[in-house]
Amino acid sequence: MGNEQIPQTAPTPPAPRRPTGRQTGFAGTAHRWLLDRISALWALLTDRPVSLYAASALRIGYGSLYLIFLLREFPHRHEIWGADSPWTPALAQQLFDQTGWNSILTLSDSRAYFELCYVMALVTSALFMLGWRTRVMSILFALVVTSFHARAIFMTDGGDNLTLLMALYLVLTACGRRWSLDARRDRLKAARAGNAPKLVRRFSVQQLLDARTTLTTVVHNCGIFVIAAQVCVLYGAAGLYKVQGASWGGGTALHYVLNLELFQPWPALSHLVDEQTILISIVGYMTVLLQVAFPFVLFGRLKYPVLVMLLGMHIGIAVLMGLPLFSGAMIVADAVFLPDRFYTFLPHLCRRAAQRTGMRRPAPGRSAGPGSVPSQGRPGVPGPKHRTTPPGQKDNALATGLASDQS
pLDDT tens per residue, range 360-385: 555 554 444 443 434 444 444 444 44
In a domain, 215, yes or no: yes
**Whether 257 contacts 321, CB under 8 Å:** yes
In a domain, 390, yes or no: no
Q: What is the mean pLDDT of residues 104-117?
A: 92
**Whether 61 contacts 139, CB under 8 Å:** no
**Whether 145 contacts 164, CB under 8 Å:** yes
pLDDT band at 12 (very low <50, low <70, confident <90, very high): low
Does 394 or 263 have the greater pLDDT score? 263
pLDDT single digits (tens) 114-154? 999 999 999 999 999 999 999 999 999 999 999 999 999 98
Name 166's Cβ contacts closer than 8 Å, sequence gap at least 6.
Answer: 58, 62, 227, 230, 329, 332, 333
Radius of gyration of the chain (CA): 33
> Per-residue pLDDT for 95 more than 50?
yes
In a domain, 67, yes or no: yes
State the residue range of the domain holding 119.
41-188+204-244
Side-chain half-sphere CA neighbours of 39 within 13 A: 6
In a domain, 363, yes or no: no
Q: What percent of the chain has pLDDT over 90?
A: 51
**Whether 234 contacts 162, CB under 8 Å:** yes
In a domain, 65, yes or no: yes
Name 235's Cβ contacts closer than 8 Å, sequence gap at least 6.
Answer: 290, 291, 292, 294, 295
**Whether 336 contacts 227, CB under 8 Å:** yes
pLDDT single digits (tens) 204-254? 777 888 888 889 999 999 999 999 999 999 999 999 999 888 889 888 999
CA pair distance 250, 379, nearest whole angstrom: 76
User: For the chain, what's the residue count?
Assistant: 407
Overall number of domains in the chain: 1
